[in-house]
Structures are given as structure tokens and as C-alpha cells.
Structure 1
Amino acid sequence: MKVSVRLDDISPLIQYDGEWATGNATIDSDGDKYSDGGTFKVTQSNEGKATIAWAGTQITVFGAKRFNHQEYTVTLDGGVPQEFSGQSDDPVFQTSLYQSPLVPNGQHQLVVQDSSTSADRPYLDIDFVVIDSEVDGDQSVDVEDDDPSWSFAPSNAWSNDPTQFALYSGGTGHSTRAASTAIDLYGLICAKCGGYWVSIDDGQKFPLNSRNDEWTKPKSLLFMGRGLSEGAHSLTVTNFGMKEAGLSIDYATVYGSKPRGIVGAVNPPPTGSATDSSKSNGTSTVAIILAVIIPLIIIILGLILVLLLRKRRMWPFNNPQSDEEMASPYPGPVDPRVLDIDGSPPPPMLAMPTAPASMYNAQVQDLEHSYAQQPLAQVGPTLYFPGTTSYQGSLPTYRESMYEQSVDMGTPPRPEKGRYRRF
């Protein structure tokens, strides 16, 4: 993935040697035509040179071409200096002064130096620099300084309430750590800022300086790391300035196929030092762990409850019913005999219906036969469960009687009006 980063002229990654001044709209009527509110570096001495140590495939230096500018030289990776002219009768601002050819992705050095020979046209200025590089992966993530992956040590040496607090990305400002195939570190440049060094995976320490007496600029690129292998890395930033000098870290941008928060502990400060970087954020880490575990436990308990409920519904003996459910559509075990329409139980099955008194009945009572003396045939119980469609068991039957004659039972009485309901 191609990544382009921009260095303002006051970036700590640009080292100025010789006589350089900070340009602005106060001392230059065209100062507001430069980028970033009119910040630029200017020299009129052949001793003035700017050195940029960078990592990538191409670099472009921007500045102005004006009537009082003249020659300057550019040297790439210690090669033969190339000479260019910055003179233009019609001034042009924020224009390219030099663009390198494509070079292998890696560490390089560029030196820009004033080589003017005319006292009337002695000037060379630098506005900003753009560096292109190739990094492994296709994603990038900004890791704010309040992310749990950062740590600050000693904790009493760091504050999240600096003078320019409101200007920081995310409204915060302190310091350090990182992971992935590449990393860019951003922070504050100011008059009260000081020197610091940066190392990756406890390797070589790169000394840099974030102090600028003329400008205060947050979100400035303080360090860029390239050529890292895919995986976890640690970035250590240490403030080695004077006691009154500070170091303010805003955020880091990490790159990779799966970029994530910075991992690994920042080196603890040397004995007696109160300026090394790292601030433990254990509370935030615990909160994140709980935020993941608690919902997971709730989901598991919910699944167990659902499985138990489904199991109870599938086993009928474990599915108690309320009185209302028992009342409809079947009132529990059902006698196969027809109930009376008003809900009262029918007469016992052994009881014969009573016919009106007659000689016939008297004769029947005198007959000797086996009808009344024959016991009912024994049958199994009659059961019914909600959800079935037929009765279980068999209806009770009478044994055959020798008495074969119909009995006139008369006309049954008419039901009283309003006593019954239709089904």
C-alpha cells in the first residue's frame, strides 16, 4: 500500500544547519501565501542546509520561487549534488523545488543547500516536504494516546492537560507505544517542547527535537518508522530535554494487513529519571475485558434456558397446565360415555333407565335370568392427552344376555328452556 506523509518546515525530521530564519506574514508581505498559515524556513547563506532522513520510495520538497531567489543544490544518498534555480520574476508559492526519482523502498537521506552567488538574490526557502513509501498491508488505524495499548511511566511525570489541550486529536495529549508493519507518531511542536529519542523494539535510538520558539503546532509528525515485519512491535519514546522542556504525544498511525493497538510494554525510565514515557492504563484494559466477557456469559445462559424450555415442552408430563388450560378443549381424562348436556355426570353404566310402571316391568322383575347378575367385563383405563386425536383404550362392554326383548322407555321429558347451551 502506498502511504504519503507530509512534513511541515518545522518538523523535527528536518535538521537545519547554518543560518536559517523562520518566515511569517509579519516580516514578509507574501508570507500568508505559504502553507500552514504562513510557516516557512528561509536562508541567505551558502552555509545554510537542510538534511532530511527519510524512509520510502520518493521525496518531494516544496517552497517558493521568487525574484530574489537563486541557485541551490540537492544531494540524494551522498551522491553527486544537483543544482537547481529558484529564481522567478513572477513569484510562485507552494511549488516543487525538487522531486527525487523512484528509489528502492528503504532508508534514504536528502540534503538541500543554498548555493546562490548573487548578493541581490541570496534566498532559499522550504515550505513543506512530502514522502511516499510502500508498506505491507492495506489498512491503517489511528491509535489515540488514551488507548489501553499505550503506557506511560512514571505516571506522575505525564499529564493529559497540557497548555494546548484543545488542539490535540481526540482532545488529549501525552505519550507512547506501537504495532504492525509501519508506524507514524504525531505530537506537539512548541517553544516549551524539548528533545526526545525514539526506538523500535528496544533497538537503535533516534534523537529528535520538538522545540520551536516561533510556532506552536499540534498533530505534527514526530517520527516515522518503516520496514517492520508483520506482527507486534513496541515503540519507545523518551523525553531527554531539560526539566522545563516537555514532550507531548497525540496519536500514532499504524499500518498493516490487520493493524491494531500498540502492544508490549514501554521501557521503564532509568533510576532517578522522571521524564521517560509510559502510563499504565490497567483500568481501561479491565473494562474492555469485562465488556467482552459479561455479554458472552449472558448469551450462554440464555441459550441454556431456551434449551431447557424446549425440552420441557416436548415431554408432556413436564408441561403442567393451568386450570384454564385444563378446561379447554378436554377436561383431563375423558369418560367415553356421553356427558349430560348441562355438564352433570351421567348415571352409572350399570344402572338401567327406568321405564314407566307397567305389568311388563313387574314381569321383568320376576324373571330369572343372568342379566343383572353378570359382572362387567374388565377393561383398561381410558386415557387422553392434549394433542392426541383418538381415545386410548376400549369402551366397556356388557356380556351377552339371554334376555332379548326391547323395552319401551317412554318419551323423555323436554328440556327446560334456557338450561342447555349449544355446542
Structure 2
Amino acid sequence: MPRFVQVFQDTCPTLTFSSGWQGGSSETDASLDRYSQGTYTFTKQADETMTMAFNGTYVGIYGAKRPDHGLYQVELDGKLFPTFDAYSDTPLFNQTLFNATSLDYGLHTIKLINSGSTTLDVDYVAFQGITGKSEEALIPATWQDNEFTFSYFPPSSWRQSARPGTLSASTGTITNDPKATAEFKFKGNFLLASTDEAPQVLTVVDS
């Protein structure tokens, strides 16, 4: 079956953070641009957690190892792994904090736990999924928000983003209307819908 790797940035709502986490800021961290897409989420409180559920055969959590970072644990499907250490006397970025390979394909839940009052941060999480049938090839296709495959209702509630340079192909359609909807018609096994606040959100649909 075709396999694909999906990346969730720390800002993606698929990642559930407990209350003691906050976003990194360039005002307090000159190394913010060393993180993927210039964002990360961190905590300095013990027992704070980040949780994610996914369907796949591989999962990896990525973040930094820095002088003020420390011990943490990971729980996968109820199994608690031995303590890991994110301390490094030299700042290191895009580091693998944890990964698990060769998982049985299906629904899994992973939890990251800060073990003490030292810093722990999350840059992004990646997992490998499976879609389609064994004889099929994975054929990706991309449609931008301004193509005919999208419909916006009501049209008067939608407008072009004022920050096009931060978006794919420098285009994005936005709304502040809680009742507004967007419709995208496609034929396939899965859909990746990307926004500036929740990049690369995965929605699995029936074949």
C-alpha cells in the first residue's frame, strides 16, 4: 500500500498540550528562527504533557536540546519508556526526541511528559501513514485556495489574506465569520488541508 509521511507543526490542533505550555517568542529567544517554520511550544513545568493520536506505522517527536533543557518521558499506547534527556551544553535543533518504527498499522496515542522544572520544547511531530490499495501508487496533487475546486459560502464572508507572503504560492482565503464554510470536491483516499495556524492537517475519508 502507498505510504506517506505527515508532519504536524507545534501549532497544529492535532497536538494537544496541557495548560502549562506556551509558544516560543523572538522577544525572549534569539534562536526562534532555528526551529521549523519559526515556531515551537515549550514548558518549564513538571508533568506537563503533549498528546497526539494517529493512524500509522511510525511516529517521531522533534525539538531542541539546549543548556536549559532536561529530562522527559514518552508514553506510547500506554507503555512508558525510560527517561530521556534533552540537555545539551551546545544548542542543537531539529533533534529527534523520540521515534518508534515498525508499529502495527492502526490507531496509536503518544504522550510526551516533562519530568522536571527544566525546559522541554516541541518543534513538530511526524508519522507515517498508509492509504489506498496494495497495487496502487501514491499520486499527490495540490490545489491552491483560488482554484475552481474550492467554493466559499457566503462569498461575501471570505477575502484574500493580508499576509500572502507567509502562505503557499503566496495566496490564502480567510474569514472571520463563524458560520462561513468552504467546500472542496475531490476523488481520492485522503486530504491534506493546510492553513497558516494549523499547517498540514490530515483528514482521512472513505475510499
Tell me which interval the TM-score lies in, with the shorter structure as reference length: 0.7 to 0.9
Could you tell me which runs of 5 or more consecutive residues in structure 1 were left unpaired when the two chains were aligned.
190-209, 211-219, 230-423
| Root-mean-square deviation over aligned CA pairs | 2.2
Secondary structure of 2:161's aligned partner: coil
Q: Which amino acid aligns with 1:2?
A: R
1:166 Cα offset (Å): 4.5
1:125: which partner in 2? 121
Q: Of the two structures, which has the highest relative contact order with CA contacts closer than 8 Å and spacing of 6 or more? A: 2
CA distance in 2, matches of 1:227, 1:109: 20
64 and 168 in structure 1: CA distance in 2 versus 1, 3 angstrom threshold? closer
Of Structure 1 and Structure 2, the greater strand share is in: 2
Number of equivalences = 192
1:310: which partner in 2? none
**TM-score, scaled relative to structure 1:** 0.42
Matched, 1:33 2:17: no
157 and 106 in structure 1: CA distance in 2 versus 1, 3 angstrom threshold? farther
1:85 Cα offset (Å): 1.6
Identity in percent: 23
1:56 Cα offset (Å): 1.9
After superposition, residues 78-97 of structure 1 pair within 5 angstroms as 79-82=78-81, 83-97=83-97
1:88 Cα offset (Å): 2.4
Could you tell me which runs of 5 or more consecutive residues in structure 2 were left unpaired when the two chains were aligned.
175-181
1:338: which partner in 2? none
1:281: which partner in 2? none
Are the counterparts in 2 of residues 135 and 226 from structure 1 also a CA contact under 8 Å?
no
After superposition, residues 4-403 of structure 1 pair within 5 angstroms as 4-37=5-38, 39-77=39-77, 79-82=78-81, 83-116=83-116, 122-136=118-132, 137-159=137-159, 161-170=160-169, 171-174=171-174, 175-177=182-184, 178-189=186-197, 220-221=199-200, 223-226=201-204, 228-229=206-207
Greater CA drift, 124-133 or 142-151: 142-151
CA distance in 1, matches of 2:22, 2:63: 14
Rg larger for: 1
25 and 146 in structure 1: CA distance in 2 versus 1, 3 angstrom threshold? closer
169 and 70 in structure 1: CA distance in 2 versus 1, 3 angstrom threshold? closer
- Note the alpha carbon deviations across 1:284-329, whole angstroms, 9 max, x for none: xxxxxxxxxxxxxxxxxxxxxxxxxxxxxxxxxxxxxxxxxxxxxx
Are the counterparts in 2 of residues 135 and 227 from structure 1 also a CA contact under 8 Å?
no
1:52 Cα offset (Å): 1.4
CA distance in 1, matches of 2:172, 2:147: 11
- Note the alpha carbon deviations across 1:370-407, whole angstroms, 9 max, x for none: xxxxxxxxxxxxxxxxxxxxxxxxxxxxxxxxxxxxxx
Are the counterparts in 1 of residues 60 and 97 from structure 2 also a CA contact under 8 Å?
yes
CA distance in 1, matches of 2:188, 2:37: 30
**TM-score, scaled relative to structure 2:** 0.81
Of Structure 1 and Structure 2, the greater helix share is in: 1
Are the counterparts in 1 of residues 3 and 129 from structure 2 also a CA contact under 8 Å?
yes
168 and 30 in structure 1: CA distance in 2 versus 1, 3 angstrom threshold? closer
CA distance in 1, matches of 2:16, 2:92: 25
CA distance in 1, matches of 2:74, 2:13: 20
Q: Post-superposition, which runs of at least 4 consecutive aligned residues in structure 1 deviate over 6 A?
A: none
Q: Which amino acid aligns with 1:98?
A: F
172 and 25 in structure 1: CA distance in 2 versus 1, 3 angstrom threshold? closer
Secondary structure of 1:152's aligned partner: strand
Greater CA drift, 174-183 or 92-101: 174-183
